[in-house]
Amino acid sequence: MKIYHRATGQCLAEKVALANTVFKRLRGLMFRRRLAPAEAIWLRPCNGVHTFWMLFAIDVIFLDQQLRIVKLVENMRPFRVTSPQLAARSVVEMPAHTISRASLKVGDQLEIVR
């Protein structure tokens, strides 16, 4: 899967892992050493995340049912927790600073292509 910023057509991630089971969502990125620059994990369904037992910071993108951004968390460091986002139906975790590099804003639409 790939993730695109619909307004600009920019590819945000070329390798996207889908975490769509309880175990996959719980494990997420725990114990991994890093996330490659064009890599992401899509947690679905999900409306909140933690970075317990992670070894690096990430950017977190909360998406609604139509894949519109409802909240952005930049450079979330290890051992942190987000508050639940009631409008969110899924979350994309990407390398830190992806949000600022891509100039993402709340309300932007993403596209996930298989």
Q: What confidence tens digit (pLDDT) does each residue in 52-68 have?
A: 888 999 999 999 999 99
Return d(Cα 31, Cα 91) in angstroms, integer.
19
pLDDT tens-digit series, residues 58-114: 999 999 999 999 999 999 999 999 999 999 999 999 999 999 999 999 999 999 998
- Which DSSP state fits 4? E
Q: Which class would CATH give 2-113?
A: mainly beta
Return d(Cα 5, Cα 69) in angstroms, integer.
10
